[in-house]
Amino acid sequence: MSAPAVIGRQPVLVTGGAGFIGSNIAHRLASEGHDVLIYDALSRPGVERNLHWLQSCHPRRISFVRGDVRDEDGLASVARQASAVFHMAAQVAVTTSMVEPREDFDINVRGTLHLLDALRLSGRRVPLIFASTNKVYGDLADVEFRLEDDAYRPVDRQIRAHGISEARPLDFHTPYGCSKGAADQYVLDYARSFDLPTAVIRMSCIYGERQMGTEDQGWVAHFLIRALEGEPITLYGDGHQVRDILDVRDAVGAYMAAWRQIDTVAGRAFNLGGGPQNAVSLRQIVAEIGDLTGREPDIRFNDWRAGDQRYFVADTRMIRSTLALGQPRGWRDGVASLAQWLMDERGLSLASSAPKRRVPA
């Protein structure tokens, strides 16, 4: 499916712009007066709501082309119009990659290469910021942990104090880790080999408004939705695994800063997450949800999933110093804000949540 040329001015292109982070980036761009072109296959349930919201908020700033990043001609057509690109379109779930590894490769690697080469062949130095993942560092099985207060904590003092830095060797696990890692490296190499102003942001767990959380991806929103609807929450593994969760508003701020300072960050990769101050285990999130709703969620357990990290906290010192970012929002405030948005969005109330149940040991 070839995408038509839909607007005359050169917009900022957001691939996957109807998705969770993409729609928040598009909203910020349009709010700041930029024309935005969203290229999205609308393949994920619920993202149409994000698109309609964007179009209603910014009817003169938002343009939309329905297209798939695997469509080389269609993607090249919109890339030729772009003044800058935020490449957020992806196959986003480890579980899906285990079932459909070829599709995962085609979307995440081939689609990214289509986009990079379209920019290369345009003859223009168009900035591109790529959404990568902490999964490029593998399962971190060599890092020693101890269990403290329902959470795995590193024994190593440096990692405990600051998290996992960009100096950590890459170690792709699962087809998803391989595809995102390969795309990550292509983006960096196109800066090196072809002088394209590209940069990579390796994200930890992002949460916030417009997140249509599912069991496979977007777990903070998923936990909240399940609890608010009175449905059980399944924890894969023991629930002590730790992530540094980051409110999407802070993540968008980092993406915008990277674009504004593209000459400084071109050819570089940065870790982005909530940092040690926002490091929280799945069990601790569940307990917080219980406090927010006044009812402890019904928790069930299942086997560990492939490539799952017992602990990942991003060392954010490099991205924060390079881009002069402020301190991120505290996770409790952010989760409470997301809970309120989900209730408003879904017409839910605290009274609709389930009776009290204890979290099993």
> Which residues carry out catalysis?
176
Compute how many other C-beta atoms are within 10 angstroms of the C-beta atom of residue 102.
10
Name residue, tokens 């993406």.
255
**Cα angle: 334, vertex 340, 344; to 5 degrees:** 145
Q: What are phi and psi of 281, to 5 degrees?
A: -85, 165
DSSP code string of 54-101: HHHH-TTTEEEEE--TT-HHHHHHHHTT-SEEEE------HHHHHH-H
Beta strand 84-87 pairing with 128-133: parallel
Rounded to whole angstroms, the Cα distance separating 241 from 223 reads 15
Helix, strand, coil: what percent of the chain each, to 5?
45, 20, 40
Q: What residue spans of the chain are helical by DSSP H?
A: 20-31, 47-57, 72-79, 94-99, 101-105, 111-122, 157-162, 174-194, 219-228, 248-260, 262-265, 282-293, 317-323, 331-346
Q: What are phi and psi of 22, to 5 degrees?
A: -60, -40
3-class secondary structure, 146: strand
